[in-house]
Amino acid sequence: MTKEEKIKSFNPNDIGNTHAGMYGLPFTQEECEIQIIPAPWEVTVSYGGNTAQAPYAVLDASYQVDLYDPFVPNAWKMGIFFDDLEESISFKSHTMRQKAETYINALSEGEKVQNNAALQKTAQEVNEACSAMNDWVKQRCLHFLNQNKIVGLLGGDHSTPLGMIQALAEKYPHFAILQIDAHADLRDAYEGFKFSHASIMFNALKTKAVSKLVQVGIRDYCEEELHIMKKENGRVITFFDRDIKQQQYVGKTWSDICDEIIANLPQHIYLSFDIDGLDPKLCPHTGTPVAGGFESEQVLFLLEKIVKAEKKIIAFDLNEVSPSTNKDDDWDANVAARLLYRIANLAAHSNGVRA
């Protein structure tokens, strides 16, 4: 059966078929315009965990998502495919996470890494494993980018997109990162881990193709990160959550603030979305929740305005989703599944893909 025949026979109003693809869609991987790469990895998380289970939980939750998109009608016809879950990545994450926890616990008890050969060895092993994971993500992204597919990454923790950013640098001479996040993630090798989830944007700035980093919703950061923002001389533009809210308190609209954000973005944009950028009521189990944050429609409003401004979302990630260990309490995954669907549709639409 051809894709056109599948579209004619598929009823998007039916209950999601859990034996079909992501969101219950009937298409093969080749027929889908959008490819989601799952990255079940959380080695360097420093507070709460379980983000490595997010790809599994979000896939399960996707079958409950209604397929009508008010901004991109008939978006489901483009097709979203969930790439094969690489179990070796998940296994390696679990193994290295145990080592990292031992290391972090030692640090919290006052151990000095420079005086402890075992801790030095653990840090090296973790850094090497994270580097290998980044290489895997990069190659998987390039595999789909070379087929002119729209690519999204579903973490895992926020360290996972670095390989995707490096892959995009081989395709685009210049692009900006639009970061939706509670945290600045500009720490240099946080806790001694070069590829820490708290260092993702510090590492991304090492990529020359990243012409600008526009951070939105930041509300938890250290003085060192503030110095980095200033030192980059306009390459890093940060819209702090505090400033956004205080401007709104005196009458400035979110639409006007979005226009200011968009004015700082070039034509090509990579969206990096840490779910803790949302109000924690929407992601109560995320690893490092911070009071404040956005409603989901606030973020989608910004992204829709970006698309209306005829800018391109060249790729995207969604990370730090931490599903509850209680299977009856899967709020985080449900929120993530709906956001992922809308973001994927917007990214494809911004690149001229039409259903």
Domains and CATH numbers, the chain: 3-350 (3.40.800.10)
Structure tokens at 150: 């729209």
Tell me what percent of the residues of the chain surpass a pLDDT of 90.
86
pLDDT-based confidence at residue 49 (cuts at 50, 70, 90): confident
Distance (Å, whole) CA 293 – CA 93: 29
pLDDT at 191 exceeding the cut of 90: no
Distance (Å, whole) CA 122 – CA 113: 10
What value does the mean pLDDT take over residues 176-186?
A: 98
What value does the mean pLDDT take over residues 165-184?
A: 98
Q: Residue 205: which of 237, 183, 241, 181 has the closest Cα?
A: 237
pLDDT digits (tens, 9 = 90+) for 107-153: 888 888 788 888 889 989 999 999 999 999 999 999 999 999 999 99
In one-letter notation, the amino acid at residue 20 is A
* Biggest CA-to-CA distance, the chain: 67
81: which strand partners? 35
Distance (Å, whole) CA 11 – CA 13: 5
Distance (Å, whole) CA 70 – CA 183: 30
pLDDT digits (tens, 9 = 90+) for 219-233: 999 999 999 999 999
Q: What does the radius of gyration of the chain's CA atoms come to, in whole angstroms?
A: 20
212: which strand partners? 176
Average pLDDT score, the chain: 95
pLDDT digits (tens, 9 = 90+) for 8-48: 999 999 999 999 999 999 999 999 999 999 999 999 887 76
Per-residue pLDDT at 300: 98
pLDDT digits (tens, 9 = 90+) for 231-290: 999 999 999 999 999 999 999 999 999 999 999 999 999 999 999 999 999 999 998 899
pLDDT-based confidence at residue 162 (cuts at 50, 70, 90): very high
Residue with tokens 């929407």: 282
Per-residue pLDDT at 327: 67
DSSP result, 89-116: HHHHHHHHHHHHHHHHHHHHTT--GGG-
Per-residue pLDDT at 258: 98
